[in-house]
Amino acid sequence: MIEFLEYIDTRLFIFFNGNHTPFMDSVMDAVTNKYTWIPFYLIILFFVWKKVKSKMWLVVLSVVILITLSDQISVHLFKEIFQRYRPCHNLLLQDRVQLINGHCGGDYGFVSSHAANAFALTTFLIFFFRRRDFALFMYLWASVVCYSRVYAGVHYPFDILGGMMLGIFLGLIGYKIYFHLDKSYAE
């Protein structure tokens, strides 16, 4: 069964990673770069401030803790334990992987930290704002970030799926903690 899942994951990876163009390489290089999103995060911070004003520090603190936990859990409880090589480090697949700018990353890829972090933030913010249009936009953003990691040749689709599930779970827990802290702070 494991071999079958690995076969499916590899086939999906080859399909999604195999259609590179110079234009898409530059787009996906920008999408996968965390610094590209700084203006996006600043806009979100503005809307958080509009909603909670003086308690913005509590939201920012909650998100910082959430993303730190998501990032560390994805590395120390998943990548270092499962030790599943990234496609670009897989000796049986290396010659078929198309990388962007030759960048591969660390040895292990399960689960994707980008996916875990993006979906943790997305889930937290969806519960925070509680707007359907915002939720759709955030899920689209997180999905594009995740796709960029497969396109870049550094993650299998199941690495992404695992990161998404971890991120959603942590985002829910993070929001519940924030909600209880917010209630305590209000009393």
Number of domains in the chain: 1
Rounded to 10 deg, the angle between the 56-73 and 38-52 helix axes is: 140
- Do the Cβ atoms of 174 and 120 come closer than 8 Å? yes
Q: Is 85 helix (H, G, I), strand (E, B) or coil?
A: strand
Domain residues for the domain of 96 are: 2-186
**pLDDT tens digits, the chain, 187 residues: what are they?**
788 989 999 999 999 998 888 999 999 999 988 899 999 999 999 999 999 988 889 999 999 999 999 999 999 999 999 999 999 998 888 888 988 878 888 999 999 999 999 999 999 999 999 999 999 999 999 999 999 999 999 999 999 999 999 999 999 999 999 998 877 765 5
Q: Residue 60 belongs to a domain with what CATH number?
A: 1.20.144
User: How do the residues of the chain divide into helix, strand and coil, expressed in percent and rounded to 5?
Assistant: 80, 0, 20
**pTM as predicted:** 0.91
Tokens of 130: 């509680």
